[in-house]
């Protein structure tokens, strides 16, 4: 999951909402563990219109979870197409956006590096 910290119940709701994104908009959203596409800058507003049954806060949390993961941040390279809900290109990732994504990815990897090193030093029996 992304950088947000959720309760167990909220994690379940966020995961279900992310599955809904993938199910309803498969040309835009990708399943966990797969390469992602950069999303249109208006994607939150687009989702609000397309999924009025999903509460705004839950929509925002699920979208945040999706866009703060490693595979999404890796997709944000300068010049990459940003897609709408139907998977059509609508704009491109700018150089400052790509730079910001690289910084976020570096911070994310740094945050988890000590845990991964510690885990490697103490393999399971």
Q: What is the CATH number of the domain that holds 34?
A: 1.10.1710.10
* Domain interval for residue 25: 8-121
Find, among 95, 3, 77, the residue nearest to 37 by Cα. 77
The reply to whether 3 falls in a domain is no
Find, among 65, 21, 75, 82, the residue nearest to 47 by Cα. 21
Q: Is the pLDDT of residue 23 over 90?
A: yes
Query: Across the chain, which distance is largest between two alpha carbons, in Å?
Result: 51
pLDDT in the model for residue 12:
95
The reply to whether 81 falls in a domain is yes
The reply to whether 1 falls in a domain is no
What percentage of the chain exceeds 70 in pLDDT? 86
**23-38 mean pLDDT:** 95
Q: How far is CA 102 from CA 5, 40, 44, 94, 119, in A?
A: 22, 18, 22, 12, 25
Binning pLDDT at 50, 70 and 90, where does residue 114 land?
low
Helix, coil or strand: residue 60: helix
Binning pLDDT at 50, 70 and 90, where does residue 112 land?
confident
Which residues does residue 92 pair with via DSSP β-bridges, in sequence order?
A: 81
pTM: 0.82
**Poorest-pLDDT segment among 4-18, 28-42, 47-61:** 4-18
Structural domain count of the chain: 1
The reply to whether 2 falls in a domain is no
């Amino acid at each position: 999951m992304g950088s947000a910290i959720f309760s167990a119940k909220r994690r379940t709701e966020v995961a279900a909402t992310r599955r809904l994104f993938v199910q309803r908009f498969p040309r835009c959203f990708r399943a966990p563990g797969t390469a992602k596409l950069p999303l249109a800058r208006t994607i939150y507003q687009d989702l609000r219109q397309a999924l009025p049954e999903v509460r705004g806060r839950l929509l925002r949390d699920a979208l945040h979870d999706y866009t703060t993961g490693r595979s999404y941040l890796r997709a944000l390279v300068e010049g990459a197409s940003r897609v709408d809900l139907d998977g059509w290109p609508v704009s491109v990732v700018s150089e400052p956006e790509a730079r910001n994504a690289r910084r976020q990815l570096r911070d994310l990897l740094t945050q988890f590096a000590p845990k991964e090193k510690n885990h490697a030093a103490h393999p399971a029996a």
